[in-house]
Amino acid sequence: MPTFHWFLPTASDGRSLTVGTRGTHGPGHDGTPATDPGADRFRAPSLRYLTQIAQAAEHQGFEAVLTPVGTWCEDAWLTCAALAQHTEHLKFMVAMRPDPISPTLAAQMAATFQRHSGGRLLLNIVTGGEADEQARFGDHLAKAQRYERTGEFLTVLHGAWSGTPLDFSGAYYDVRGACVASPPEPAPRIYFGGSSAEAGPVAARHADTYLTWGEPPAHVAAKLEHVRALAAEQGRTMRFGIRFHVVTRDTSAQAWAQAERLLAGVDPEHVGRVQQTLTASQSTGQDRMNALHARYRDSGRTSDLEVHPNVWAGVGLLRGGAGTALVGSHAEVAERITEYAALGIEEFILSGFPHLEEAYWVGEGVLPRLRARGEEGTA
């Protein structure tokens, strides 16, 4: 039985893909200020609202919630520390970038979180793929250098947790006696993604779970085979996870109607502006997301956004990052998850718009079917 996680929308949430960010343009977002009373069904990421989502995810049996990092998000560490006080066993997958923080300080923060939360921290290490986003935090390294720094960061992080003080001198970090007061128990699992040539070796050496954005199964299988081989060269094995949005309803027709509503009324010129921004991304993963729109760009038919049965690339028209959704009846979505699990995907990070209601659609409609299959030995 795979493991399922949900997502915390700490930038914005709502009933369409054009909900506003807070006052400025983030990659692939609408940019409508949250203070604008005309913002399209915008839900501010208040602590009260995020608490509702976290508690819904916990109630529906999700193991953890992924909390993103970036200019337009609330800080992931502070948000998750607050939410840990309002949940009992839900884990928090904190996304963090190595650039703005010392790895020894990160090790200390993680160890403290682990003790205060009762072992409920997971870490998603994000190297960063947008030059302007990196520059806001004073990071001006080229992409290849950023991945080299991430490798050093994780070396120091794990060393500081080891119980033996670490001396390390590299191109980006020079530490003496790096340690924490008490090693975290357990040490947080490291989640790491990246589709570029530079990302694979870092994942192979350091990641516990390698993450990919949702793509057609053949593409995912090839990526997993590549990373699995790199890990084997290091004498390691790892788990694999995938990031999908979900639109699921009692019938297929209802689900696809809801998917269409997410794009309802969107100005094609706005789509063009967003796509132009996303095309300029330095992220190889974003390039792969953009490539899934090729048939749609030629035809203009939304039906051409279905790139595999029940796999819809429509989200990526308006939002950067993970741009695909599983769309269909509960049984169809469960079937697609089973298909990806057969490739070796063991963890699914899911989300929906809006995240509160969709947690229940997935939790009550899809997860029970998958649990039943697992109990029968067919998942």
pLDDT digits (tens, 9 = 90+) for 302-324: 778 899 999 999 898 888 889 99
Tens digits of per-residue pLDDT, 217-254? 999 999 999 999 999 999 999 999 999 999 999 999 99
What pLDDT band is residue 298 in, cutting at 50, 70 and 90?
Answer: low
Chain-wide mean pLDDT for the chain? Answer: 89
Question: What pLDDT is attached to residue 8?
Answer: 98
Q: How far is CA 283 from CA 62, 153, 240, 351, in A?
A: 29, 20, 20, 21
* Statement: residue 126 has pLDDT above 60: yes
Predicted TM-score (pTM) of this structure: 0.91
Within 8 A by CB and 6+ apart from 319, the residues are: 17, 28, 29, 274
Host H or E run for residue 156: helix 143-161
Within 8 A by CB and 6+ apart from 157, the residues are: 103, 106, 107, 110
Question: What pLDDT is attached to residue 34?
Answer: 38
Tens digits of per-residue pLDDT, 139-158? 889 989 999 999 999 999 99
Question: What pLDDT is attached to residue 22?
Answer: 42
* Statement: residue 377 has pLDDT above 80: no
**Helix/strand/coil for 213:** strand
* Statement: residue 170 has pLDDT above 50: yes
* Statement: residue 162 has pLDDT above 60: yes
Mean pLDDT of 358-364: 98
Tens digits of per-residue pLDDT, 81-119? 999 999 999 999 999 999 889 999 999 999 999 999 999
Tens digits of per-residue pLDDT, 191-211? 999 989 999 999 999 999 999
Residue with more model confidence, 342 or 31: 342
Question: What pLDDT is attached to residue 19?
Answer: 63
* Statement: residue 67 has pLDDT above 70: yes
Domain residue spans of the chain: 3-96+189-246+330-376
* Statement: residue 270 has pLDDT above 80: no
* Statement: residue 65 has pLDDT above 90: yes
Rounded distance between C-alpha atoms, residue 367 and residue 334, angstroms: 8
What would the two tokens of residue 289 be?
Answer: 């997301």
Question: What pLDDT is attached to residue 41?
Answer: 63
Give the distance, in angstroms, between the CA of residue 26 and the centroid of all CA atoms in the same chain.
16
CATH 3.20.20.30 fits 3-96+189-246+330-376, yes or no: yes
* Statement: residue 343 has pLDDT above 60: yes
* Statement: residue 294 has pLDDT above 80: no
Residue with more model confidence, 346 or 375: 346
* Statement: residue 183 has pLDDT above 90: yes
Question: What pLDDT is attached to residue 25?
Answer: 34
